[in-house]
Amino acid sequence: MSDDPYVYSGTFVLRNKLGLTDPKRLQTGERRMVSQRIDEGIPSGAFDLDHLRAIHRHLFQDVYDWAGEIRVTELSKGGHQFMFRAYIERGMADVTRRIVAAQPYEDWSLPTFAAEAGHILGDVNYIHPFREGNGRTQLQFLKQLCHVAGRELNLRQIDRGEWLAASRAAHDADYDPMGRAIRVALERSPSSPSNLRT
């Protein structure tokens, strides 16, 4: 039996505003509501923890009471431990410092920017601030980072299998696969003057 405070007692199903206890129905309902919130537009910000929290809150506000709140439990997946919650604020502050120090990105070549973005997203994934919904939140964060760099990213161009593999690799401090996944997705995204820079 799980002692996870986020789940219904005796189950592994996350407590939710929809009152759903079937994981497949919850997944379907969550996906539909998050898609609607994406269509409304994503909150912008300073690429800090507050920004990440605002994105998560916006995406999951219809599904979870704790949308936008930092997790209160430790998390691991596939034998990989995510950042201990006591260090989440410090970890994200370091990411934000690096983003601010590196800007402006507009004159960076595509390979250089994609490599930097891969490093950033790999670390944001390791920080994993939320109990659920980290991946979708991170992708919206990435899309906004690309926009600030003058590049428009179509998230549908990211191969899901490659992205998951890249996330696992980044957990072991190998950021190259994530950088490659971002570069390929940007290359496949609709052309704009900035996306044509190589």
Q: Give the DSSP per-residue string, 39-92.
A: HH-PPP--SSHHHHHHHHHHHHTTT-TTTTPPPSS--EETTEEPPPGGGHHHHH
pLDDT value of position 1: 41
Q: Global pTM?
A: 0.93
Task: Provide the domain limits for residue 180.
Answer: 23-188
Per residue in 68-111, pLDDT tens?
999 999 999 988 899 999 999 999 999 999 999 998 898 899 99
ω into 104 cis (within 30 of 0): yes
| The total number of structural domains that make up the chain | 1
Is 197 contained in some domain?
no
Work out the widest C-alpha separation in the chain, in whole angstroms: 55
Is 129 contained in some domain?
yes
Nearest to 38 by CA among 137, 108, 165, 179: 137
CATH of the domain at 122: 1.10.3290.10
Per residue in 175-197, pLDDT tens?
999 999 999 999 999 765 455 45
Paired tokens of 81: 């431990």
Is 128 contained in some domain?
yes
Min mean pLDDT across 83-87, 161-165, 170-174, 191-195 is at: 191-195
Is 87 contained in some domain?
yes
Is 193 contained in some domain?
no
Is 6 contained in some domain?
no
Is 7 contained in some domain?
no
Residue reference for tokens 């003057």: 193
